[in-house]
Chains A and B, each alone.
Chain A
Amino acid sequence: MSDRPAVPPILRMSGIGKSFGATQALDGVDLELGRGEVHALIGENGAGKSTMMKILSGAIVPDAGRMEIDGRPYAPSGPGDGLRGGVSMIYQELNLAPHLSVAENIMLGRETARSGWLDRPAIRRQVREVLELVRHPEISPDVPVGRLSVGAKQLVEIARALLNKSRILVMDEPTSSLTQEDSQRLFEIIRGLRGQDVGVIYISHFLEEVQSVADSYTVLRDGRSVGSGAMAGTSLDDLIQLMVGRKFTQLFPRVEHACGGPVLTLDRLKGRRMAAPVSLDLAKGEILGLAGLIGSGRTETLRALFGLDEVEGGAVVVSGAELAGRRPWARIGRGLGLLSEDRQGEGLALNLSVADNMTLSRLAPFRRRGLLRPARQRRSVAGLIDRLKIKAKGPGQPVGALSGGNQQKVALGRLLHQEASVLLLDEPTRGIDVVSKSQIYEWIGGLAREGKAILFVSSYLPELLGICDRIAVFHRGNLVESRPAAAWDAAGLMAAATVGRAPRGTPVEQRNAE
């Protein structure tokens, strides 16, 4: 007690532990946030950042560890406690009521009133004060929030947090939906907050951004804190090394396969949700990995290619013929098949049976004279259930009753049944157990050996390095670099994904020109 500094830090989290079932999400993590400090929390997807912040906000109760705010014990039992304790979360999906005005949003739930009537002058005064504080007095308190830019909306959220007398602001990927210009403006505001009596925890995948805005950092990997310190004097490479560590396993059964001639070509394909046109080639029997951060354009490219998003330009060539129809049914007809990253929301119809889910994209083989023959359907699906080692009671069981790994196998089984020759797999192993993962890797290798072409989107670098023939990296909507998998390492991929260029300072454009 005696060796504690006179002024305690705003926030001290020590020895935080949390497990979900058998998964240890956090294991003895420490984090300290000083007054006026901007502290970056860094780590790969699934490293434990969001669990950590949910514990801070009170949404999750930790299994172990203690928290102090301003030296006083802090043990929230719900998000309300977190708010009262002075913790404000600012998410990428903003928590604003678009039809209400700036002032109404800022004051929401804390309206100044005199005997039940709104005290409008007082409200306007307070709102103006707090907008001065974030250095944007030009925002009118009376404008509906829905009419503001994303950047301005974020300001409104920050203003609300300041008015709430928040001590700790948590910003979770605040720039992922911002333009470059808006991001810069946000950084200015964050730097401005250093003068105030608050601390900021800043979570972002964009390491350069983190480096320019944060004073200190903590890196999480697999639920442990693997490094922390002052940002000054820490290089990007240092951070990347900490993030990826050295964790290679024999999880990836290597199935020998050979690449043949080209089967799929994207020529400046541009979808409605894509930031930039993308060109790439895929050969028969090739597994092409697509790396990049969430929102970097990988998923958007697959969706445009499959016709789920509107195509604005460019061409798709499959086996030498340009595709005319731009809707999914036309693409399926040409041998394309897509596995959605959102298994529960899009990939599967959870209250339909395993059989229906697996065969929905190709019911024709079970039809005779216009009528379906369920017995045939069940027999065919039972074969797939065996082949993919799916643990289900039978073809008639609703798919929602299966475990995550088995659900994913059903979604993959659909592509098998569809006899797709070009498979677009979006995060096929996300959130599933290790055994199923390994089976899925083996299965993907087997498909490549059969001569299928595979686009494999993943945020998990070891699996990309483990099973792909070639890996292409997306950064902010652009496909920045593509190399054989053997020419990549985890640090290089992470650098290209977070900074937009390969390591050792070689600009990507130059590499491509060579």
Chain B
Amino acid sequence: MSRQNRSGLSRALNIFGPFIGLVLVIALFALIPEVQGRFLRMANFKSVATQSVIVALGALGMTLIIVSGGIDLSAASNIALASVITAYAVNAGAAPAWALLFGVLTGGLVGLANGALVTRLRLVPFIVTMGMMGIARGAAKWIAGNQKIDAPMTWINELMAKSPRPSWLLMAPGIWIVILFAAAMAVLLKFTVFGRHIFAVGSNEATARLCGIRTDRVKVLVYAVSGLFCGLSGVMEFSRLTVGDPTVAVGLELDIIAAVVIGGGSLNGGEGSILGTMIGVLIMSFLRNGCTMMGWPNYIQEIIIGAIIIVAVAIDRLRHRKEC
């Protein structure tokens, strides 16, 4: 009986662990009198959510990759490349819808290349995507002529507006896009054959092969889908900056990976959830937001977030040891 209880508890911890972390972070700043008033305002929550959009989109794809046992270090470079392509297209007079599509597809192509290299050449994802990190960043700078690309304002720039144009939207369209895709990806992971296959490949690739799963195909698809999300994230980056900047989002891949890991994803594969990842994204955003309000310098934020990543993974480890 006690074993059953403990497993029930650990399952609860599995689902609610990151959530408790988020509540703690919000409670922490809500209790500090200096920032309480500003922090707890609806407008602040909206702005935190808007700031989370870019990392969140990248993290949706990254969750699929990490659950499948892979990693994508090229995510941030891919985002920068997609933002440059989008700006380039808008600047060249393309209709905004086309520009958006080009940006998203660019990301998808980079992801597809990652997946093809990982499966065809049997290279470790870490190495392939590290190489792609340089290639995509370099390509972005090349296309942009090593400077920012200015582009005329279009409706793309409203995707990240804090006060959306049709006011009944209440939040930036980008946030709604994230919510929509998060729901779709959660369903994909939990309730489709493809989702089960992703978990199987990440949990034990040999078993997956034994069960007739086309592991290579699963991996290529996962990287390609993740690339599409990076592309969309790049469009959002362009929307926010109103220019195409090839030097944007440097190091952001680590924030994206951290969000997945804080949310319960295991770098060994086979574990992770979209809900957890989204909570991981919010934990980091609220921390940044709160620290800024406190007037704490940047380096304090970096130290705190670094420590939280280690604590999150350590708790995860502890939980696993108990189960065995």
Point out residues on A near B: beta carbons under 8 Å. Answer: 308, 327-329, 331-333, 338, 340, 342, 345-352, 356-357, 360-361, 363-364, 367, 370-372, 374, 393, 397-398, 400-401, 414
Contacts and interface: CB of A to CB of B under 8 A. Distances in A.
Contacts of B191: 371-372, 374
A400 B208 contact: no
B203 A351 contact: yes
B324 A349 contact: no
Interface in B193-248: 193, 195-196, 199-200, 203-204, 206-214
Nearest to A377: B196
Contacts of B200: 349, 352, 356, 360
B212 A352 contact: no
Contacts of B255: none
B2 interface: no
Interface of B: 4, 7, 187, 190-193, 195-196, 199-200, 203-204, 206-214, 270-271, 323-324
B219 to A, nearest CB: 15
Contacts of B323: 398, 401
A346 B215 CA distance: 14
Contact of B213 (A338, A360, A371): A360
Nearest to A345: B206
A60 to B, nearest CB: 22
B9 to A, nearest CB: 14
Given A360-B200, A400-B324, A329 B212 contact: yes
A351 B211 contact: no
A329 B214 CA distance: 7
Given A308-B209, A345-B204, A349-B207, 17 more contacts: A329-B212, A340-B210, A346-B204, A347-B210, A348-B207, A349-B203, A349-B204, A350-B203, A350-B204, A360-B196, A361-B210, A361-B212, A367-B193, A370-B192, A371-B191, A372-B191, A401-B7
A351 B193 contact: no
A49 to B, nearest CB: 28
Contacts of B271: 351
Given A349-B208, A371-B187, A400-B324, A329 B203 contact: no
3 cross-chain pairs, A with B, having the tightest CB-CB distances, nearest first: A349-B203, A361-B211, A329-B212
Contacts, number: 82
Contacts of A327: 214
Given A356-B199, A360-B207, A360-B213, A351 B187 contact: no
Contacts of B324: 400-401
Given A356-B200, A371-B192, A372-B193, A346 B210 contact: yes
A110 to B, nearest CB: 34
A514 B323 CA distance: 60
A428 to B, nearest CB: 14
Chain A CB within 10 Å — which of B7, B192, B193, B203 has the most?
Answer: B203
Contacts of A345: 204, 206
A372 B192 contact: yes
Contacts of B212: 328-329, 331-333, 361
17 contacts: A346-B204, A347-B210, A348-B207, A350-B203, A350-B204, A351-B203, A352-B199, A356-B196, A360-B207, A360-B211, A371-B187, A372-B190, A372-B196, A398-B323, A400-B324, A401-B323, A401-B324
B208 to A, nearest CB: 7
A257 to B, nearest CB: 27
A366 to B, nearest CB: 9
B213 A329 contact: yes
Contacts of B270: 349, 351-352
Contact of A328 (B190, B199, B209): B209
